[in-house]
Amino acid sequence: MAETAIAVYPSPRARVQAMKEYHPPLGCRDALRLDFNENALACSPKVREVLAGISAGSLTRYPEREPVEAIVAAHLGLAPQQVALTNGVDEAIHVLFETFLEAGDELLLPVPTYTMYEVYASATDARVVAVQAANDLRFPFERMLAAITPRTKIVAIANPNSPSGSMATRDQLLEIARRAPHALVLVDEAYFHFCGETVVDLIGTIPNLIVARTFSKAYGLAGLRIGLLAGPVELMRWVRRVLSPYSVNSLALACLPPALEDTVYLDWYVGEVNAGRAEFEAALDAAGVRHWPSRANFVLADIGPRHREFTHLMREAGVLVRDRSSDPGCDGRVRITIGTREQMRQAAAALNETLAVLRAGTEAQ
Ligand SMILES: Cc1ncc(COP(=O)(O)O)c(C=O)c1O
CA proximity to 362, closest of 299, 321, 293, 309: 309
Q: How confident is the model at residue 361 (pLDDT cuts 50, 70, 90)?
A: confident
CATH architecture, domain defined by 52-261: 3-Layer(aba) Sandwich (3.40)
172 has a pLDDT exceeding 60:
yes
Q: Where are the domains of the chain?
A: 14-41+264-364, 52-261
Q: What is the mean pLDDT of residues 207-225?
A: 98
What confidence tens digit (pLDDT) does each residue in 96-133 have?
999 999 999 999 999 999 999 999 999 999 999 999 99
161 CA to centre of ligand 1 in angstroms: 10
4 has a pLDDT exceeding 80:
no
Higher pLDDT, 24 or 168: 168
| C-alpha separations of 91 from 96, 212, 215, 254 in Å | 8, 10, 13, 19
Ligand 1 neighbours, Cβ below 6 Å, are: 37, 88-90, 114, 158, 162, 188, 190, 214, 216, 222, 227
At 209 the pLDDT is 98
Buried b (16+ CB within 10 A) or exposed e, 184-205: bbbbbbbbbbbbeebbbeebee
What class has domain 14-41+264-364?
alpha beta
Q: Does residue 337 contact residue 38 with C-beta atoms inside 8 Å?
A: yes
CA proximity to 165, closest of 135, 142, 140, 194: 194
At 2 the pLDDT is 59
What confidence tens digit (pLDDT) does each residue in 245-288 have?
999 999 999 999 999 999 999 999 999 999 999 999 999 999 99
365 CA to centre of ligand 1 in angstroms: 41
Q: How confident is the model at residue 214 (pLDDT cuts 50, 70, 90)?
A: very high
3 has a pLDDT exceeding 80:
no
Mutate to test the pocket of ligand 1, among 116, 139, 247 (most ligand atoms within 8 A of CB): 116
Ramachandran angles phi, psi of 86, nearest 5°: -135, 170
β-bridge pairing 209-214 and 227-230: antiparallel
Q: What is the mean pLDDT of the chain?
A: 96
Q: How confident is the model at residue 362 (pLDDT cuts 50, 70, 90)?
A: confident
192 has a pLDDT exceeding 70:
yes
Q: How confident is the model at residue 365 (pLDDT cuts 50, 70, 90)?
A: low
148 CA to centre of ligand 1 in angstroms: 25
